[in-house]
Structure 1
């Protein structure tokens, strides 16, 4: 059990998402940075999709009411355990009564707190993710509040001696496949979508200009501010299915990127689709930050996906070995 001592709005229980129900209007939800949640679970020997906490408003503070092992991934949020600083992307044992505090991130937007065994909340439609729009899943379908208590699933806990261990952050380990921001502008790879040609010569400016993530952005979608992109001629479209990563262009000409709580259908023209492997980086982009779309292709997206999977497999196989080695050292 954990006891939430301090939290802001919009901090929720999330796993990797709820799938198979978009045909009846149910969004997938799930972590905005699926990579960070997955790494946190791998460090603990959990299933990839075990439920954890997505924290996007700070400060955040919890007290542990049982001994367990936790991992903190995602944004570097100046974490501390009983006042002792902790590194980012780190797994460590915690004891009953200890207090974990997360402060405002140095960069990025969201931190993830994972627990050995995962959070034990009731699954809804096969997922423990919170759907704030639908008010179901997670903890009563809502974001966390002070004095909330959440149960941790019962699981035999492997010893993690000493101060714990961590993973190399993906932006470092995968630097050759995920270019760093230039002058504060995050490059986001995308592929032209079904209605790209309807924008004629205007479409080129979609790729060449810098866009700003506006304050009208949330888990459903990022609204971008910039010089509007207009259709070459008016067009009427029926609503069609959309998924996270789809970039729609409303009549005002400023794009909307569908995110984890993406609408299940919409009628705005689709100018592009963000490659799935780049969505974790968008999930860490702050409101007010700037992005630029990079025209990509399937081959480049597959190469980045293969590199990411290799990174995860390395952690999957290394973490248990490291735990065992540290345990052996501590017994000497």
Structure 2
């Protein structure tokens, strides 16, 4: 079993997996990777299971020293990764040797990157998940973001024996923009808003506020008025729900969102577009378009099919060279 040493932690670096499911009824958020697509591809590139614990890097990545030979992959936003001062590119996996130093220049495109290591990061599971839930100070590495001097153990693997580079084909790569149209379905309180306010919501452009994090994205732009009160009896709330509080400024629920909420919800971001939101930075612009449930499900199945295709391609490479 090898390890990696955190020399510098970066802005916000946490251990994440696919999330902590089955506990929302007890008030426990799911958490997990903000960009599930990039996270899963990172793991596949190094021969891991899709859900193996990996590192989520935000805007400015860490400086890491590897104490053994591994395969690593970096996906998601382009943060300017370098190994021993030599540039490596996102959406590929490479071999790392003992003593190698991984550094990052900073966000160039997108907001979050994922660093996977062959075998996966070994941390204790909490409620069946290795994901870090920062507000609850649990999961991941000691329930917190990484700090200088932290040492993370890596599960044994033989994938580090393969020295070639594996790249994700261009057709599977998402495009990160500073302006995005986000697809939504109707929210449970959609009918609590007048048609004029609904039209305003869909015809407006919003900026992501600096007061946005893994719990929720606060938006700045046109204020949406209620026909009645903004308050409702608290009820379960889903990932991507768009709340309209009393001040009329929308809030999008992200992976660390609370499990219940008492504000009206005009719409809900579709599953596949959560990844798009996860890669957008404060002050970048979004707008919304309405689709129906069947279309949302179709987009989800298309994405899952893409992941399965990639998984098969990558597994064939490892079968040949290992």
- TM-score of the alignment, normalized to the shorter chain, above 0.5: yes
- What's the CA shift string for 1:47-95, capped at 9, x where partnerless? 1110000000414210001111111001111111111111211101111
Partner of 2:310: 315
Q: Does the CA-based 8 Å contact 2:70-2:160 persist in structure 1?
A: no
Supply the RMSD in Å over aligned alpha carbons: 1.7
Cα distance, 1:193 vs structure 2: 0.9
Q: Which has the larger displacement, 51-60 or 24-33?
A: 51-60
Q: 1:119: how far off?
A: 0.4
Q: 1:195 aligns with which of 186, 189, 204?
A: 189
Asked whether the equivalents of residues 174 and 308 of structure 1 are also in contact (C-alpha less than 8 Å), the reply is: no
Q: Say if 1:26 and 1:229 are closer, same or farther in 2 by CA, change over 3 A.
A: same
Q: Number of aligned pairs?
A: 319
Q: Which structure 2 residues correspond to residues 289-328 of structure 1 after superposition, within 5 A?
A: 289-325=284-320, 327=321
Q: Distance in 1 between matches of 2:128 and 2:184?
A: 30
Q: Does residue 96 in structure 1 map to residue 108 in structure 2?
A: no
Post-superposition offset of 1:46: 0.9
Taking the TM superposition and a 5 Å limit, the aligned residue runs for 1:1-332 are: 1-157=3-159, 159-162=161-164, 164-168=165-169, 172-173=171-172, 184-200=178-194, 201-234=196-229, 236-325=231-320, 327=321
Q: Which runs of 5+ in 2 are unaligned?
A: none
SS at match of 2:314: helix
Distance 1:303 1:234 in 2: 35
Deviation larger for 261-270 or 193-202:
193-202
Distance in 1 of aligned mates of 2:287 and 2:250: 12
Aligned partner of residue 248 in structure 1, secondary structure: strand
Deviation at residue 302 of structure 1 after TM alignment: 2.3
Contact 2:137 2:144 in 1 (8 A): yes
Unpaired runs of at least 5, structure 1:
none
Find the aligned partners of 1:174 and 1:202 in 2 and give their Cα distance: 36
Name the CA distance, whole Å, in 1 between partners of 2:67 and 2:211.
38
Q: CA, structure 1 residues 235+76, in 2 after alignment: closer, same or farther (shift >3 Å)?
A: closer
User: How far does residue 174 in structure 1 lie from its aligned partner after superposition?
Assistant: 6.8
After TM superposition, the score normalised by the length of structure 1 is 0.92
Tell me, in whole angstroms, the C-alpha distance in 2 between the residues paired with 1:49 and 1:94: 22
Shift of 1:197: 1.5
**TM-score normalised by length of structure 2:** 0.95
